[in-house]
Amino acid sequence: MLAALSEIDILMGDIGNAYLNAPNKERVHVICGPELFGPENQGKKAVIVRALYGLKTAGNSWRQHFSTVIWD
């Protein structure tokens, strides 16, 4: 925003943890290990609801989420 107000062209940018802001487009289940939610939840199923880095549709999910936030 500051660059746009100052009429400066941006060639590249980075947003830390950007994918965690977008909802996931695919349904992903994982089996919890003791390191995820503690030993009492080991072996239980969990559903991933955010577009984590490494999922096939994470980049597309974030791009669509970012575009709707910017244009709304």
Measured in residues, the chain has a length of 72
Q: What is the pLDDT of residues 10-33, one digit of tens each?
A: 777 766 677 778 888 888 898 999
Q: Taking a C-beta distance cutoff of 8 angstroms, is the pair 21, 59 a contact?
A: no
Please give the Cα distance from 50 to 58 (Å, whole number).
8
For residue range 46-66, what is the model confidence (pLDDT) as tens digits? 998 888 877 888 888 888 888
d(CA 50, CA 61): 9
pTM of the entire predicted model: 0.55
Q: Where are the domains of the chain?
A: 18-71
Report how far Cα 29 is from the mean position of its chain's Cα atoms: 16
